[in-house]
């Protein structure tokens, strides 16, 4: 169900216009504030975790791209695709010639991508209808564009949703741009569109990780606390509510979370459904699908909540969960989860015992209601996973492995065709290099290769 727009649209449009006019000054002020927070020059070597600067991942490499680049076509019906814009073999992006890229991110619901160079500079590519590229407008951009609005900052992380973007700086601040009608940018209002990155007012500490769902967002602070904001429709924010209320007798709306709000409790349910609080939870990783969230704590315990359809939560039942629930399948010696990744209707977890998948990766057919091991990846050293709407790309050892059901648009890499691949298969050796990081969008695949 699509949430209703907030009633005061005229006021929001005026506020959006004002935000656009004052974008340059607001970013400069934020840069000054960011610098003043870390006035001590030796903060990078300080023992205080709130003063240490965050760093980019160690991998540096060249970006290669596969899939559809016709942004107005991706994920939409009744629009005819142009064959020349469907890339069935990995291609290098000319705009990054001579630039080493350290981080690349997209989302299974997104038609845009964020790239971060080894110097912490940001580049964006893709759909820009809601200002999600962060360049000050909503005009169409055919290629990669530098995000000059963030030139005063060193960016070390990012996350994207369907039409919004979060950017994490080395000082632990987060900036957001794009669609904000559900409060998913976390700036304290529901201004429809943020054309340039606006800083999230978060005073609880340094932020160390960000994640986005289709229309909601998650952040983790340096203490391991998890915060969420945006659309609560299926309980994906973890606040024990779906936020629904009736504006009139026949008009439904939602109580959006406009600013970061802490997820207060994590539970374990018994066989009869009785919840018991889980203690000593310090979140270290989080991933979001379209309408569900999965997180892992420092003790490698995984939790999931939100929309439960097709078993994507891994609790052996399709029920929605409005508070984080421990996935009991991973309860036991040496069965902890190290990293999690989410597609639109499925979840992947990496552990010492292998790679597990649950949910539905096809548009029709059976769904895994609980975690099942991916036997074809047994023995592989999996380093990164990228999830599209239905396709999956894995960087393992010195190879890249991809699979997914038809129709595909070239995102399976190296096949040269638009056919599906139900089982994991390697990318053509002529295109293969060591894959350091992979990510998937709506019908695209991006890969960072060393």
Residue 422 has pLDDT above 90, yes or no: no
The dihedral built from the CA positions of residue 186, 191, 197 and 202, taken in this order, carries a sign that is negative
The rounded Cα 102 to chain-centroid distance in angstroms is 17
Q: Is residue 401 part of a domain?
A: no
Instruction: Give the count of domains, the chain.
Output: 1
- Residue (of 151, 154, 156, 198) closest to 30 by Cα position: 198
The pLDDT value recorded for residue 103 is 94
The pLDDT value recorded for residue 73 is 75
Q: Is residue 1 part of a domain?
A: no
| Residue matched to tokens 């893709």 | 126
Domain that holds residue 291: 276-373
The pLDDT value recorded for residue 32 is 56
The dihedral built from the CA positions of residue 124, 100, 106 and 218, taken in this order, carries a sign that is negative
Question: What secondary structure, in 3-state letters, does the chain show?
Answer: CCCCCCCCHHHHHHHHHHHHHCHHHHHHHHHHHHHHHCCCCCHHHCCCCCCCCCCCCCCCEEEEEEEECCCCCCCCCCCCCCHHHEEEEEEECHHHCCCCEEEEECCCCCCEEEEEECCCCEEEEECCCCCCCCCCCCCCCCCCEECHHHCCCCEEEEEECCCEEEEEECCCCEEEEEECCCCCCCCCCCCCEEEEEEECCCCCCCEEEEEECCCEEEEEECCCCEEEEECCCCCCCCCCCCCEEEEECCEEEECCEEEEEECCCCEEECCCCCEEECCCCCEEEEEECCCEEEEEECCCCEEEEECCHHHCCCCCCCCCEEEEEECHHHCCCCCCEEEEEECCCEEEEEECCEEEEEECCCCCCCCEEEEEECHHHCCCCEEEEEECCCCEEEEECCEEEEEECCCCCCCCCCCCCCCCEEEEEECCHHHCCCEEEEEECCCEEEEEEC
Q: Please indicate whether residue 354 or residue 10 has the higher confidence score (pLDDT).
A: 354
Q: What is the mean pLDDT of residues 118-128?
A: 96
Q: Is residue 363 part of a domain?
A: yes
Q: Is residue 320 part of a domain?
A: yes
Count of alpha carbons within 13 angstroms of residue 155, beta-carbon side: 33
Q: Is residue 334 part of a domain?
A: yes
Q: For the chain, what is the mean pLDDT?
A: 85
Q: Is residue 170 part of a domain?
A: no
Burial label, 10 (beta-carbon count in 10 A; 0-12, 13-18, 19+): exposed
The pLDDT value recorded for residue 391 is 87
Residue 409 has pLDDT above 90, yes or no: no
Q: What is the mean pLDDT of residues 137-145?
A: 93
Share of the chain above pLDDT 70, in %: 78
The pLDDT value recorded for residue 436 is 62
Q: Is residue 318 part of a domain?
A: yes
The pLDDT value recorded for residue 45 is 45
Residue 421 has pLDDT above 70, yes or no: no
What is d(CA 128, CA 177) in angstroms, rounded to the nearest whole number? 11
- Residue (of 145, 196, 203, 206) closest to 175 by Cα position: 196
- Kindly state the tokens that stand for 284: 């270290």
- Write the pLDDT tens digit of every residue in 65-121: 888 887 777 777 666 667 767 777 888 989 999 999 999 999 999 999 999 999 999
Count of alpha carbons within 13 angstroms of residue 396, beta-carbon side: 21
Q: Is residue 309 part of a domain?
A: yes
Ranges 60-74, 254-268, 370-384: which has the least confidence: 60-74
Task: Tell me the pLDDT band of 5, cut-offs 50, 70 and 90.
Answer: very low
Tell me the backbone φ, ψ of residue 383, rounded to 5 degrees.
-110, -25
């Amino acid at each position: 169900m699509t949430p209703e727009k907030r009633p005061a649209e005229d006021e929001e449009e005026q506020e959006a216009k004002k935000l656009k006019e004052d974008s340059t000054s607001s970013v400069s002020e934020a840069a000054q504030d960011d610098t003043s927070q870390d006035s001590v020059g030796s903060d990078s070597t300080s023992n205080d975790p709130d003063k240490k600067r965050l760093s980019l991942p160690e991998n540096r490499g060249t970006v290669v791209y596969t899939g559809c680049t016709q942004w107005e076509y991706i994920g939409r019906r009744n629009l005819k695709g142009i064959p020349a814009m469907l890339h069935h073999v990995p291609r290098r992006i000319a705009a990054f010639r001579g630039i080493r890229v350290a981080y690349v991110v997209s989302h299974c619901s997104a038609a845009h991508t964020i790239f971060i160079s080894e110097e912490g500079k940001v580049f964006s590519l893709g759909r820009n209808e809601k200002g999600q590229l962060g360049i000050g407008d909503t005009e169409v951009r055919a290629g990669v564009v530098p995000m000059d609005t963030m030139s005063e900052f060193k960016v070390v992380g990012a996350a994207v949703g369907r039409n919004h973007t979060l950017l994490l700086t080395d000082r632990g601040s987060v900036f957001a741009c794009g669609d904000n009608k559900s409060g998913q940018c976390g700036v304290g209002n529901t201004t429809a569109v943020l054309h340039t990155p606006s800083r999230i007012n978060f005073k609880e500490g340094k932020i160390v990780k960000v994640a986005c769902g289709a229309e909601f967002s998650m952040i983790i602070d340096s203490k391991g606390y998890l915060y969420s904001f945006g659309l609560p429709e299926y309980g994906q924010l973890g606040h024990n509510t779906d936020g629904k209320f009736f504006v009139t007798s026949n008009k439904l709306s939602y109580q959006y979370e406009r600013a970061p709000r802490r997820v207060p409790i994590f539970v374990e349910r018994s066989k009869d459904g009785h919840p018991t609080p889980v203690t000593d939870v310090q979140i270290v990783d989080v991933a979001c699908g379209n309408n569900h969230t999965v997180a892992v704590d420092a003790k490698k315990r995984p939790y999931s909540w939100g929309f439960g359809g097709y078993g994507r939560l891994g609790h052996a039942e399709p029920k929605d969960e409005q508070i984080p629930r421990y996935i009991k399948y991973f309860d036991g010696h040496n069965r902890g989860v190290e990293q999690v990744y989410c597609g639109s209707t499925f979840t992947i977890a990496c552990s010492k015992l292998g790679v597990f998948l649950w949910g539905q990766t096809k548009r029709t057919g059976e769904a895994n209601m609980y975690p099942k091991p991916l036997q074809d990846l047994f023995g592989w050293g999996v380093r990164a996973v990228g999830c599209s709407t239905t396709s999956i790309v894995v960087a393992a050892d010195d190879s890249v492995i991809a699979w997914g059901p038809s129709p595909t648009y070239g995102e399976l890499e190296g096949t040269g065709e638009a056919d599906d691949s139900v089982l994991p298969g390697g990318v053509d050796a002529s295109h293969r290099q060591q894959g350091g990081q992979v990510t998937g969008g709506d019908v695209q695949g991006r890969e960072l290769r060393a």
